[in-house]
Chains A and B, each alone.
Chain A
Amino acid sequence: MKFRQALAGLLLPFAGILFVGLLWTFLSAKVSKDLPNPIKTWEESKLYVLKPLEKRGEMDQGILLLASYSLKRVAQGFVLGAIFAVPLGFLLGSSQLFFKAFDPTIQVLRPISPLAWLPLGLILFRQSEPAALFTIALCSMWPTVINTMHGVRAIPQDYRNVARVLQLSAWSTFTKVLFPATLPYMFTGFRLSLGIAWLVIVASEMLTGTPGVGGFLWQEYNSLVYSHILLCILTIGVVGFALDRLMGLAEMRIRAV
């Protein structure tokens, strides 16, 4: 029984991948001749995969190197967003006045697409790099804001009572009681925010033409090398999956306390 479960655990995901691969082959054969099939995709992109850290030109680089540029930008934008998001979440969660004043604005800002923010960033900063960071930070911060806010509201009265009867200073109450109590919620927010940051990076690189997975994707589309588009898509998916898993692990460790 255990053997069968292990077999199913390995075989079923493979079956899923095989199915998508066949669908891909079918689409490239029957629907669009421009879409390279999996084998052609591999042939044309193996240089990028097998020499992942080689730099041959501004855009012509190994896939890991390209991904690392994107990741660095995501990390910067994400941290920038979190620096604003966490205090904002705390204020919204602890002050009814602040919540009433800013909640409607936040609800309006939240659904705005990165594609809409980027031009504003370019107008504000006149350079593509800070504009990209601005967009990532602004788009990715909302889950952290909302989750931190809910976390602050969910702090059990018990913990607040502890702070009260021990007569902790305001600073101690924050660092020893409120912040640790909110941390698990914050990490749920971080995980969602990082996912959004990774979504935004591709769009912002495509629009600004900066080197990275998204920039490379757009350049290869313009130079009609379609197999590289598929390589980028797969890379974006795998890296995004890895990021989510890593954040998931961090979240589990925080929650285990």
Chain B
Amino acid sequence: MSFIELEGVCKCYGPRRVLRNVNLSVERGEFVSIVGCSASGKTTLLSIASGLRQADHGSVSIGGKALAGFPRQAAIVFQSYSLLPWFTAFENVRLAVEAAFPDWTVARRNEKTEAALRMVGLGQAMAKRPSQLSGGMRQRVAIARAFAVDPEILFLDEPFGALDALTRATLQQELARLCQVAERPVTVVAITNNVDEAIVLSDRIFALSKGPEATLGTAIPVSLPRPRTAATVLHDEQAVRIRVKIAQYLTSHSSKPALHGRPEAIPSRALALEVEA
């Protein structure tokens, strides 16, 4: 049995069936990406996999145990940063450290917090509030907060979706590096609407068909040597094949134009799936 297992997961919002029969298995230490269009149910899928929401049917298990609520050994990074504006970068990260290591001394917690912020290159900006930081820096704080608790599992909910292309590329590299140097192997489940991002970061990629009734395709393994960069991935033959495969799956499985999507506002820039042919 795999580390993370989703079996026959279905989810409806009222009469609208968002997910249908989703199966997913992730091995320990693996980086898995789920690629899909906006409003296809990606976020719903991730919140079910992370225990933030309950599936209507099907089961979710982590480490062989049925999932009940957000797992202790996990961390998550949201697209919206989700930093608390009344705390500084340091305090935001420390809040996570305090909650994860309640029996540590204050000095040790502060040390851990500082180390996490230095890892993402924010040694100079620790005393700043989120409102004083750029979008990229805010997301760095959020990433530092996630890694500060030494998570076994990391959920990423379109973590770079709100960032410009350059910042996005830099942060992808940082994230890949952080996963490599982490104290214990991190299992990552990421969702994204950017195929190249998935290719740069993942061991395996799943495509989620357009909602409603979205479901996952078969796994597409990525065996390109690491470290990968956006530039090397751009013209690589395997990467090109993967892009085509994903594009084919997404177009052949789209039932209706999924514009009547989820309740949150859909950023117009994300409407088209970013596939560079």
B63 CB within 8 Å of chain A:
no
Give chain A's interface secondary structure class.
Answer: helix
Q: With an 8 A cutoff between CB atoms, is A110 at the interface? A: no
Q: List CB contacts (< 8 Å) of B40-81 with chain A.
A: 50, 52, 70, 72, 74-76, 78, 80
Q: Which of B50, B85, B129 has the most CB of A within 10 A?
A: B85
**Also in contact, A180 and B84, with CB within 8 A (given A166-B95, A168-B99, A257-B129):** yes
Interface-lining segment among A33-41, A157-165, A192-200: A157-165
Contacts A164-B52, A165-B52, A165-B70 hold; do A158 and B99 have CB atoms under 8 A apart? Answer: no
Contact B75 A162, beta carbon cutoff 8 Å: no
A172 — which chain B residues lie within 8 A by C-beta? 95, 98-99
Main secondary structure of the interface of B (DSSP, over half): loop
How far is A166 from B83 in the complex, measured between Cα atoms in Å? 12
**A168-B80 in contact (CB<8A):** no
CB–CB B129/A159 < 8 A: no
Contact yes or no, B84 A176, CB < 8 A: yes
Please give me the residue from chain B that is nearest to A177 by CB atom.
B84
Within 8 A of A (CB), among B83-128: 83-87, 95-96, 98-100
Our pick among B72, B78, B129 for the contact of A167 (Cβ within 8 Å) is: B72
A257 to B80, CA, bound (A): 18
Decide: B72 and A162 in contact? CB cutoff 8 A. no
Shortest Cβ distance from residue B76 to the other chain A in the assembled complex, whole angstroms: 5
Query: What's the least CB distance linking A125 to chain B, in Å?
Result: 40
Kindly state the separation between the CA atoms of A161 and B69 in the bound complex, as whole angstroms. 12
Say yes or no: is B82 at the interface (Cβ < 8 Å to chain A). Answer: yes
- Report if A158-B82 is in contact (Cβ < 8 Å); known contacts: A165-B75, A166-B99: yes
Taking CB atoms, residues of chain A closer than 8 Å to B95 are 166, 168, 172, 176
Cα separation A181 to B84 with both chains bound (whole Å): 9
- A161 vs B75: C-alpha distance in the bound complex, in angstroms? 12
Q: In the bound complex, what is the Cα–Cα distance between A164 and B95 (angstroms)? A: 12
Which listed residue, B50, B84, B98, B100, touches A162 by the CB 8 Å rule? B84
CB distance from B72 to the nearest CB of A (A): 7
Nearest opposing residue in chain B for A158, CB measure: B82
A158 near B86 (CB under 8 angstroms)? Answer: no
Q: Are A180 and B70 in contact (CB under 8 A)?
A: no
For the complex, what is the distance from the CA of A162 to the CA of B142, rounded to whole Å? 10
A76 to B248 Cα, complex, angstroms: 71
**What 0/1 pattern do residues 52 to 91 of A give for CB contact below 8 A with B?**
0000000000000000000000000000000000000000
Interchain CB contact under 8 A, A161 and B72: no
Contact digits for B161-191, partner A, Cβ 8 Å, 1 yes 0 no: 0000000000000000000000000000000
> In whole Å, how far is A186's beta carbon from the nearest beta carbon of chain B?
13
CB distance from A89 to the nearest CB of B (A): 19
Chain A residue, CB-CB nearest to B83:
A162
Known contacts: A158-B78, A161-B78, A257-B129. The answer to whether A166 contacts B96 by CB under 8 A is yes
Give chain A residues whose Cβ lies under 8 Å from the Cβ of B78: 158, 161
Which residues on A sit within 8 Å (CB–CB) of B80?
158
Contact B70–A159 (Cβ < 8 Å): no
Q: Is the pair A159, B84 in contact by a Cβ cutoff of 8 Å?
A: yes
Point out the residues of chain A lying under 8 angstroms from B85, CB to CB. Answer: 257
Name which residue of chain B comes closest to A161, CB basis.
B82
A123: min CB distance to chain B, Å: 44
Q: Restricting to A136-176, which residues have a CB under 8 Å from any CB of B?
A: 158-159, 161-162, 164-169, 172, 176
Residues of chain B with a CB closer than 8 A to A181's CB: 86
How many angstroms from the CA of A43 to the CA of B45 in the assembled complex?
79
- In the bound complex, how far is the Cα of B70 from the Cα of A131, in angstroms? 52
Nearest-Cβ distance from residue A170 to partner chain B, whole angstroms: 12
Question: Which residue in A162, A167, A168 is a CB contact (below 8 Å) of B82?
Answer: A162
Closest 4 CB pairs of A and B: A180-B86, A166-B99, A158-B82, A257-B86
Given contacts A166-B99, A167-B72, A168-B95, 10 further A-B contacts (CB under 8 A): A158-B80, A161-B52, A164-B70, A167-B99, A167-B100, A176-B87, A180-B84, A181-B86, A183-B86, A257-B86
18 pairs of residues in contact across A and B, judged by CB atoms under 8 Å: A159-B84, A161-B78, A161-B82, A162-B84, A165-B70, A165-B76, A167-B70, A167-B99, A167-B100, A168-B95, A168-B99, A172-B95, A172-B98, A172-B99, A176-B84, A176-B87, A181-B86, A257-B131
* A interface list, Cβ under 8 A from B: 158-159, 161-162, 164-169, 172, 176-177, 180-181, 183, 257
**Which residues of B are interface residues toward A (Cβ below 8 A)?**
50, 52, 70, 72, 74-76, 78, 80, 82-87, 95-96, 98-100, 129, 131
